[in-house]
Amino acid sequence: MEQGKAELAMAISLVEARGFSGAAFHSHQAAELLLKGLWIHLKRSAAPRFHDLVELGTGLGAPENVLAALRRLNPEYVVSRYPDAANGVPARNYDRERALELIGLAEGVERWVSDASA
C-alpha cells in the first residue's frame, strides 16, 4: 500500500510538470498497488499477477462507487502509454483536467483501501 501512495504522489507531481499521460498511468498504478496491498493484508496471500483493477476490486468486495472508479482507471494501464492502444500519441490525448480527474479517482480508491485495511 505504501508503494501505491508513492505512485499517487508521482501522478500529482507529473501534473505539475505537465506530464499528463504519465499522471494517468501512475493513477492506474496507484490504484493497482493499493488494491494489491489490501489483498495481501486481508487475504494473507500473494496478490494476483494481473493488472485488471475491476477484477481486483471485485475480489476484495469493493463497493459500487469504488468499482466505478476502477472501471474508469482500468484502461489507463495501456492507453496512457501505447499509441496503438490510444489511437494516437498518448501525450497528446491528455490534459490537466483529465489527469486531475484520474488522480481524484485514485484518491477515492486510496480512501476506501485505507478504511478497509483499518
CATH value at residue 54? 1.20.120.330
Cite the DSSP H helix spans in the chain: 2-16, 20-43, 53-59, 64-73, 76-79, 83-86, 96-117
Write down the pLDDT at residue 106.
98
Write down the pLDDT at residue 69.
98
63 phi/psi in degrees, rounded to 5: -70, 165
Structural domain of residue 106, as residue ranges?
2-117
C-alpha of 22 from chain center: 12
- Residues 47, 48, 50, 56, CA torsion sign: negative
Per-residue pLDDT tens digits of the chain, which is 118 residues long: 999 999 999 999 999 999 999 999 999 999 999 999 999 999 999 999 999 999 999 999 999 999 999 999 999 999 999 999 999 999 999 999 999 999 999 999 999 999 999 9
Q: How many domains does the chain have?
A: 1
